[in-house]
């Protein structure tokens, strides 16, 4: 389909065929170009306009991607195929892919793609907020969640790869005569765009990963200036400090973005950030506690007794006898080895 005009596939059924589903829905990830064609048709149905017009109005124009569109603009590089066994080349055709265009018929520049990478890292509420982009960077298929640890998984339209300890997100693509990749390391705030005007032969994804690594490892990093909160609720501030799940110590910090950050005091352990819900409760954003509620349990006098985190009880002291520790605490409390128990 990449080298033939879209007039050969005028209807959606011409693209999807008689058996569009290759696997049970939601069971596993399998990349599908016709699937993106289906999404383009869905956009047209919901918005009542051509998908490329919706894309221009709702994504490209708000982000200032003026050099990006569904058709090439002169001057532009020509696309070439290089013979695999001889140093000769062949021009590739440029086709309007029709229904299949939603699967990847976009022409762009390194400048526009760099701006798009910045959007993918930080979000823009005119298009998609940061929370939605974070969801896009999460493996979508239940069975694929572990794949990203070993090398590859797919989120909501974004490829997820591991390069050493670094998580890379983005996407690669190709049409006859052209290769492209956008690679983003969110934690390093570094992105790489690689474009080539050949059908094959350039490992754009690997080159992008190398560029990110070189810059992230070698470029001096200027830390973000510290910014205090503009205002603070005393009831929230009193939650900051050390907490214990049994004897496991954790620190709970109130950060400048208004989130609560839970981290082990030493060594590995469960960690997460929590977003306020506006009713005194909080919700975990990532890790083991993603989606779990954090609730503050108070005593009759209003003081904090413990934190209930998805049914786990956190107290101010290890097995704090003053708090509602599940199963209770031995009435003699902590003791030395020379202090026998009494009944």
Q: What is the pLDDT of residues 232-291, one digit of tens each?
A: 899 999 999 999 999 999 999 999 889 999 999 988 888 999 999 999 999 999 888 999
The CATH superfamily of 6-218 is DD-peptidase/beta-lactamase superfamily (3.40.710.10)
Each residue's pLDDT tens digit, 2-47: 656 666 666 776 666 666 666 677 777 778 888 888 899 999 999 9
Q: Is 283 helix (H, G, I), strand (E, B) or coil?
A: strand
**Strand (E) or helix (H) holding 160:** strand 159-163
pLDDT surpassing 60 at residue 146: no
Contact (Cβ atoms closer than 8 angstroms) between residue 199 and residue 84: no
Parse the chain into domains and list their residue ranges.
6-218, 234-314
- Average of pLDDT values for 124-148? 80
Band of pLDDT at residue 59, cut at 50, 70 and 90: very high
Q: Report how far apart, in Å, the C-alpha atoms of 326 and of each of 248, 264, 314 are.
A: 15, 21, 10
- Average of pLDDT values for 114-128? 96
Contact (Cβ atoms closer than 8 angstroms) between residue 212 and residue 191: yes
- Average of pLDDT values for 320-331? 87
% of the chain beyond a pLDDT of 70: 89
% of the chain beyond a pLDDT of 90: 59
Token pair recorded at residue 325 = 């520790």
**pLDDT attached to residue 32:** 81
E strand spans, the chain: 80-82, 89-91, 152-154, 159-163, 166-175, 178-185, 190-196, 241-245, 248-254, 260-264, 272-276, 281-284, 293-298, 304-309, 312-314
Is the whole-model pTM more than 0.75?
no
Laid out side by side, the sheet with 248-254 consists of 241-245, 248-254, 260-264, 272-276, 281-284, 293-298, 304-309, 312-314
**pLDDT attached to residue 22:** 66
Band of pLDDT at residue 171, cut at 50, 70 and 90: very high
Using CA atoms, how far apart are residues 144 and 139, in angstroms rounded to an integer?
Answer: 6
313: β partners: 308
- Average of pLDDT values for 89-93? 93
Before 75, cis peptide (omega within 30)? yes
**pLDDT attached to residue 172:** 94
- Average of pLDDT values for 311-325? 91
pLDDT surpassing 60 at residue 148: no
Each residue's pLDDT tens digit, 95-110: 888 888 898 899 999 9
């Amino acid at each position: 389909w990449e080298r033939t005009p879209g007039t050969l596939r005028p209807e959606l059924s011409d693209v999807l065929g008689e058996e569009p589903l290759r696997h049970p829905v939601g069971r596993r990830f399998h990349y599908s170009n016709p699937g993106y064609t289906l999404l383009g048709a869905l956009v047209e149905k919901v918005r009542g306009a051509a998908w490329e017009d919706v894309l221009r109005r709702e994504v490209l124009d708000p982000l200032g991607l003026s050099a990006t569109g569904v058709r090439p603009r002169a001057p532009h590089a020509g696309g070439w195929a290089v013979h695999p066994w001889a140093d000769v080349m062949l021009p590739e055709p440029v086709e309007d892919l029709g229904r299949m265009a939603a699967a990847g018929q976009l022409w762009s520049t390194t400048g526009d793609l760099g701006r798009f990478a910045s959007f993918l890292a930080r979000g823009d509420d005119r298009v998609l907020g940061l929370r939605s982009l974070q969801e896009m960077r999460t493996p979508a298929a239940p069975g694929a969640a572990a794949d990203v640890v070993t090398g590859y998984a797919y989120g909501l339209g974004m490829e997820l790869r591991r390069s050493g300890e670094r998580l890379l997100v983005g996407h690669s693509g190709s049409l006859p005569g052209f290769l492209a990749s956008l690679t983003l390391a969110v934690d390093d705030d570094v992105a790489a765009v690689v474009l080539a005007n050949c059908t094959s032969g350039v490992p754009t994804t690997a080159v992008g990963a190398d560029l990110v690594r070189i810059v992230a490892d070698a470029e001096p990093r200027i830390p973000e200036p510290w910014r205090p909160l503009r205002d603070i609720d005393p009831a929230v501030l009193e939650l900051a400090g050390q907490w214990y799940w049994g004897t496991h110590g954790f620190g709970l910090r109130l950060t400048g973005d208004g989130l609560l950050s839970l981290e082990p005091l030493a060594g590995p352990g469960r960690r997460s950030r929590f977003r306020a819900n506006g009713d005194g409760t909080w919700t975990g954003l990532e890790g083991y506690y993603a989606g779990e509620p954090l609730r503050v349990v108070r005593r009759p006098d209003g003081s904090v007794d413990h934190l209930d985190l998805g049914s786990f009880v956190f107290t101010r002291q290890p097995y704090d006898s003053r708090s509602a520790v599940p199963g209770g605490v031995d009435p003699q409390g902590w003791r030395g080895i020379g202090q026998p128990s009494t009944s």
